Amino acid sequence: MRRALLTLLLAAVLTGCSLLGQDPPCTAADADSQVSAVWRPADLGGRDAARIRLCVDGTCEERTSGSPDDPFALLSVQLPDHIGASTVPVRLTVTSAKSGYTVVEDSTRARLTEQHPNGTSCLPTTWTAPSVPTLTRA
């Protein structure tokens, strides 16, 4: 009998004691509050043919377009984690590296939604825009 009780106790400990009413353990994924823009460098010509600038709620990030050999490129603007469920202004500017001419300049508003990458009862809580409306050419 002792052996059966010890086996049950060991099984409960190894499974995180979820049988005793505790929440399941959280994963350890990290995430940031942010808004991102994704593009295909091949659409912009050669390597680093354009400068992409993304501004969200007054904070801006900039990088070159990348290589047509890479199928997609990404630029993200991190936001404070306490920003909450809000609508933020987003501005995208694409400038030719060769001529300095503005190829794309547009703005929109993005609604941030709450995300829990490790589960609803686990940290962190982040705020992202799952789908920023398409920005058009200038």
**pLDDT per residue over 90-108, tens digit each?**
999 999 999 999 999 999 9
pLDDT band at 6 (very low <50, low <70, confident <90, very high): very low
Could you tell me the CATH number of the domain that includes residue 118? 2.60.40
Domain for residue 2, yes or no? no
4 φ/ψ angles, rounded to the nearest 5 degrees: -65, -40
CB 114 within 8 A of CB 125: yes
pTM attached to this predicted model: 0.73
Count of structural domains, the chain: 1
Domain for residue 18, yes or no? no
Domain for residue 54, yes or no? yes
Q: What is the pLDDT of residue 5?
A: 43
Instruction: Quickly list DSSP for 75-103.
Output: EEEE--GGG-S-EEEEEEEEEETTT--EE
pLDDT band at 74 (very low <50, low <70, confident <90, very high): confident
Domain for residue 9, yes or no? no
Give the whole-angstrom CA distance, residue 33 versus residue 80.
Answer: 6
Q: Enter the DSSP assignment of 27.
A: -
Give the chain's mean pLDDT: 81
